[in-house]
């Protein structure tokens, strides 16, 4: 087969890129190694920056978001038994976040892809990429019992952290920057009406906790736990007991308890691979960078990467210019590092770091106290949380 851009991975990055290029009349083939159900049902984060919401609406994939997304003008930071609201809309001239599950975004983008009748292969096996330094890079995969060879002008590696694209880049080309954190997150989906209409980030001596939601009947909650914590150690009652201990505030606020629909533990790491390009292979999203979820940046970074890549490919096919393609990695990495810094800062601000001294603990509390008492500090958090302007 022949196409202009071969896209490996049908997560938010790959599907969004496919749609942006479709709108610019550029041919793509998307190759995904899992089945459609797995890709859609995978429970992930769910906070969209203002820019991501505007983008999805602008490309005609905003109907679900419009009807089921929950716009939040603020968030709460809670510590020492008290919640403190940060009015992000007031501090950023009206910008906000929207809570809308990543799996909903993926479902909407798959529906949009199917409507374009452009190729989307699920269940592709033995996916590999080759000839990255040539003018015709190749994606090979097996679908059903047919072996496919897809000749491309470019390959977009949107196959996540555990994909094949990044590891296909020769040894020594990439610089790897990483930090792992001495804790993970135990996340649950619960059948309980949200008792707060905005997210609550809690610092507690027993560890961090996060109150979020998916709808007016589904709550999404997280607990800081030791890294690699086996979920078996957390029967539902123990989870609720710990959630209530960490989150309940002196004014009596606490999450509603309900049936736990799903639970799991995710590790926490910061990771950047640079450059985000090798030859005709362009990495985007989790294939190139991972942020700890505390800043809710993962999905939004994937979206901003592919906006830059789509612009660069459009320029190439319309004018033959490779300028934007040459600058792709540098443009994306500027935003990636700012998001890395913000996510690291939120993580170290709000988590109980195991080897902290009593001095550090008091300093952490003073950090939080300064934050909720300073308009400048709250504005800095707010403008980063709702999303910095897309800078090309
Ligand atoms: N061949 C084809 N597809 C693959 C392969 C492979 N070898 N390996 C992985 N994939 C697919 C995965 O099954 C997944 O559907 O690539 C897709 C990558 O999607 P994501 O991991 O969601 O990454 P990305 O699209 O970059 O979105 C980043 O996802 O993980 C969240 O928090 C993260 O919000 C961030 C967002
Ligand atoms: C979520 O709703 O899943 C969520 C919200 C905020 C975060 C991370 C995850 O920082």
In tens, the pLDDT along 313-370 reads: 999 999 999 999 999 999 999 999 999 999 999 999 999 998 889 999 999 999 999 9
Among candidate residues 235, 242, 198, 236, the one with its CA nearest the CA of residue 352: 242
Q: What is the dihedral of CA 268, 299, 327, 26, to 10 degrees?
A: 140
* CB contact at 8 A, 86 and 378: yes
Q: Is the shortest distance between the CB of 6 and ligand 1 below 6 Å?
A: no
By alpha-carbon position, which residue is closest to atom 10 of ligand 1? Answer: 159
- Whether the predicted model's global pTM rises above the 0.75 cut: yes
> What residue has token string 């550090």?
360
By alpha-carbon position, which residue is closest to atom 1 of ligand 1? Answer: 33
**Residue of 12, 161, 276, 300 to test ligand 1 pocket, by largest number of atoms within 8 Å of CB:** 12
By alpha-carbon position, which residue is closest to atom 7 of ligand 2? Answer: 296
Q: Is the shortest distance between the CB of 45 and ligand 1 below 6 Å?
A: yes
Mean of the per-residue pLDDT values of the chain: 97
E-strand ranges in the chain read 5-8, 28-31, 47-48, 70-72, 74-79, 82-87, 97-99, 120-121, 125-130, 138-143, 146-151, 154-157, 175-191, 200-202, 209-213, 218-225, 259-274, 277-278, 281-283, 289-290
> How high is the pLDDT of residue 38?
95
> How high is the pLDDT of residue 237?
98
Quick one: tokens of 192?
């309980």
> How high is the pLDDT of residue 391?
77
């Amino acid at each position: 087969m022949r196409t202009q851009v071969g896209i490996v991975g049908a997560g938010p990055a790959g599907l969004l890129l496919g749609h942006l290029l479709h709108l610019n009349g550029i041919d793509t083939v998307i190759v995904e190694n899992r089945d459609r159900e797995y890709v859609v049902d995978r429970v992930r984060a769910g906070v969209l920056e203002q820019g991501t919401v505007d983008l999805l609406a602008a490309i005609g994939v905003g109907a679900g978001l419009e009807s089921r997304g929950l716009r939040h003008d603020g968030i709460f930071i809670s510590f020492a038994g008290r919640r403190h609201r940060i009015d992000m809309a007031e501090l950023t001239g009206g910008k906000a976040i929207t809570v809308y599950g990543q799996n909903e975004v993926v479902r909407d983008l798959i529906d949009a892809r199917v409507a374009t009748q452009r190729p989307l292969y699920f269940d592709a096996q033995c996916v590999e990429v080759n000839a990255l330094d040539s003018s015709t890079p190749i994606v090979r995969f097996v679908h059903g019992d047919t072996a496919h060879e897809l000749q491309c002008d470019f390959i977009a590696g949107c196959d996540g952290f555990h994909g094949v694209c990044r590891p296909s880049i020769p040894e020594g080309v990439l610089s790897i920057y990483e930090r792992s954190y001495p804790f993970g997150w135990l996340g649950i989906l619960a059948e309980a009406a949200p008792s707060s209409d905005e997210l609550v980030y809690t610092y507690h001596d027993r560890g961090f906790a996060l109150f979020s939601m998916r709808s007016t009947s589904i709550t999404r909650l997280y607990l800081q736990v030791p890294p690699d914590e086996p979920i078996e150690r957390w029967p539902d009652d123990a989870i609720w007991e710990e959630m209530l201990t960490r989150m309940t505030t002196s004014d009596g606020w606490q999450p509603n308890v309900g049936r736990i629909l799903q639970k799991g533990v995710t590790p926490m790491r910061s990771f950047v691979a640079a450059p985000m390009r090798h030859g005709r292979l362009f990495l985007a999203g989790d294939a190139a960078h991972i942020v700890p979820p505390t800043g809710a940046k993962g999905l939004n970074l994937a979206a901003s990467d592919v906006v830059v890549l789509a612009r660069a490919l459009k320029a190439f096919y319309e004018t033959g210019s490779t300028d934007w393609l040459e600058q792709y990695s540098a443009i994306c990495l500027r935003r990636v590092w700012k998001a890395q810094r913000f996510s690291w800062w939120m993580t170290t601000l709000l988590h109980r770091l195991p080897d902290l001294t009593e001095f550090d603990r008091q300093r952490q509390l003073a950090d939080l106290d300064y934050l909720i008492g300073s308009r400048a500090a709250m504005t800095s958090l707010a403008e980063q949380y709702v999303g910095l302007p897309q800078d090309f």
